[in-house]
Amino acid sequence: MKESDKETGIIEANRLFYEAIESRDIKAMERIWLNSERVKCVHPGWPQLKGWSNVKESWERIFASGELVSIEIKDVFTDVQGDTGWVNCVEKMIHNVDGEYIVTMAQATNIFELVDSNWVVVLHHASPMPVPRSEISSEKVQ
């Protein structure tokens, strides 16, 4: 597989990961993650979770809460080394907390591995970052 094909593949896998989050689709999440004890996940401000069963449960709780209205990504950078690669991106999330819309942003590192020609997530690490005033203002005028 050419390096450029690998980059295209990892960017598509990253897109599918965020699509699964926004559509609260646990089956799609299951397809995009490696089902292994090795996987790790850090939600913004949380301690790290290990193993797919714990990680899956955390997404089920997040999806069930219904607070996450949308998640958009920008500033996407990829780095592929052999059959491992990682994507760094900024996540912009809109949450509905008791009827109030709140914008948060996070910096993410997502590590993928190529398994049977598919890129799958083995680590997701998202950490809170300051929300620029422009991002908040842009919501108000929509």
With CB under 8 A, what is the number of residues at the site for a second copy? 31
Amino acid at 59: W
Residues 36-75 that bind a second copy (CB under 8 A): 38, 40, 42, 44-48, 50, 75
> Does residue 30 belong to the site contacting a second copy (CB under 8 A)?
no
Which residue of 2, 4, 81, 133 would you call a contact of a second copy, by CB under 8 A? 81
Question: Do residues 15 and 91 touch, judged by C-beta distance below 8 A?
Answer: no
Q: Which stretch binds a second copy (CB under 8 A): 7-15, 19-27, 58-66, 85-93?
A: 85-93
Question: Do residues 62 and 110 touch, judged by C-beta distance below 8 A?
Answer: no
Q: Which residues contact 77 (CB under 8 A, 6 or more apart)?
A: 87, 88, 89
